[in-house]
Amino acid sequence: MRRRVALIIAGGEGERFWPYSTPDLPKQFLSVFTEKSLIRLTFERIAKMIPPEDIYVVTGKRYGALTKEFLPELGEQNIILEPAKRNTFPAIAYSVFLLRRLLGEITIGVFAADHVIKEEDVFLKRCREAYIAAGDKKKIVTFGIIPTRPETNYGYIRSLRSELIGDIRIFSDVMFIEKPPIEKAREYFSSGNFFWNSGMFVFDSDVLISEIETLRPADHTLLKKHVLENDDPEALFGKITSDSIDYAVMEKSRNILMIKGDFSWDDIGNWDALLRMKEKSDPNYVLGEHSVENCTGCVVISEGTRFEIRNGKDLVCVENGGKLLVSALAGLEHLKTAIRKGGNTTIECVNVKMTGNPGSYIMLGLKNLTLETDGKIILINVND
């Protein structure tokens, strides 16, 4: 059996969780969503099957010290630093080539730092099955999550065939599908042949390297030159294609198997994910001392400023460090655009009135809303 290692992807800046997540302290290092930081929970989960010396994290240079602070068990050599922000294909490809050079041929599991996974026993069982299948079949093994609702924010995986290999149910004839419109998402959900793309993979190092050579020969040449033959990540990241691993490899590969992810999973991609984490009996997700009356489907978070919200439905109200986000759930799709505009930004708001100075703010997709603040309390009222 080849040596098994785990690679945690932790380079994102988490813009969709502004104003809590910032470039200096992105989402994976926050504990506002869970009792511990997301990266800490990911590490502890994986450490139940992979020893810490075989767990690696790939992240941006600016997050190297932060990663070490949150994961002190890791040696310096276990933190792989990207010299520039690119995408998941450069991050994973660079890490795999580097680990192949340092460790020889190994079996690698790739996991995101910011997923919330419950039913850990089931998750770990499926991971062990994936490591076995990847080694035995010389394939890339991915995890397809059983959908619990029609979802337009996830990519999908379709599989039409399955077989038992020993005690492991393996799905083949795998196709990756981009994020669908709602009509297609409903169709996928009802069919039973479509699964959410978890973004987690297990493979032998040489299998992925071979796939990159076939599908991305120019990038393979760069990786071979700047990683296997030399140690020049700056030169590599200045030239390698900035694509997602799905687009670069997974969607084009014919060398993929799937294991069904029958465990509770959420990628915490947006503020509205917190509504899926709340107690079912609670109509809203509220963190802090706030007054929320006649409200449903609202996310309300602040540790320093008090919200008093009336008649809200499907709202996100978050304050942190003098920065305020008030958005309709449907308006969150504009958050990245608003952040990049800079300054106080309002997008697709109708009949919104504001009194007082809330500091730096972003307002998205609001209708018939009044906001008043004295700096200590933010009063929000929705007028039907």
> Are the beta carbons of 275 and 296 closer than 8 angstroms?
no
Q: Are 234 and 204 part of one and the same domain?
A: yes
- Whether residue 9 contacts residue 309, with contact meaning beta carbons closer than 8 Å, is answered with no
Statement to judge: residues 240 and 360 lie in one domain: no
d(CA 228, CA 15): 34
pLDDT at 10: 96
CATH code at position 126: 3.90.550.10
Q: Distance (Å, rounded) from C-alpha 380 to C-alpha 364?
A: 14
Place of tokens 């655009």: 337
Is the Cα dihedral 186, 189, 192, 194 positive or negative?
Answer: positive
**Which residues in the chain come in under a pLDDT of 70?**
none
Separation between Cα atoms, residue 301 and residue 288, nearest integer Å: 6
The verdict on 241 and 364 lying in the same domain is no
Q: How much of the chain is in helix, strand and coil states, percent to nearest 5?
A: 35, 30, 35
Element at 380 (helix H, strand E): strand 377-382
- Virtual CA dihedral for 80, 10, 60, 197, nearest 10 degrees? 100
Cα angle 80, 179, 159 (rounded to 5 degrees) comes to: 90
What confidence score (pLDDT) does residue 12 get? Answer: 85
**Residue whose tokens read 């795999």:** 96
In the listed set 242, 269, 296, which residue is the last one of a domain according to the structure?
Answer: 269
CB-based contact 348:332 (threshold 8 Å): no
Q: Are residues 353 and 280 in the same domain?
A: yes
Output the pLDDT for position 250: 95
* 81 and 173 assigned to the same domain: yes
Q: What are phi and psi of 252, to 5 degrees?
A: -105, -20
The rounded distance, in Å, linking the Cα atoms of 352 and 172 is 52
Task: Identify the domain boundary among 215, 247, 269.
Answer: 269
> Phi then psi for 240, rounded to 5 degrees?
-65, 150
Pick the last residue of a domain from 211, 239, 269.
Answer: 269
- Tokens encoding 229: 């033959």
Residues 214 and 287 in one domain: no
**Are 294 and 327 in the same domain?**
yes
Which contacts qualify for 15-19: CB closer than 8 Å, 24 or more apart?
15/335, 15/336, 15/339, 16/269, 16/270, 16/271, 16/332, 16/335, 16/336, 17/270, 17/271, 18/323, 18/325, 18/335, 18/339, 18/362, 19/318, 19/319, 19/320, 19/321, 19/323, 19/324, 19/325, 19/360
Question: Does one domain contain both 245 and 293?
Answer: no
Considering the domain architecture, whether residues 257 and 303 belong to the same structural domain is answered as no
Q: Are residues 283 and 265 in the same domain?
A: no
Domain count across the chain: 2
Instruction: Give the per-residue pLDDT at 69.
Output: 97
pTM (2 decimals)?
0.93
Residues 215 and 290 in one domain: no
pLDDT of residue 347: 96
Give me the pLDDT at residue 304, please. 87
Cα separation, 339 vs 277, in Å, equals: 26
pLDDT of residue 293: 95
Task: Please check whether residues 212 and 77 belong to one and the same domain.
Answer: yes
Residue 260: which domain range?
4-269
CA distances from 155 to 188, 284, 302 (A): 11, 27, 32
188 vs 178: CA distance, rounded Å: 12
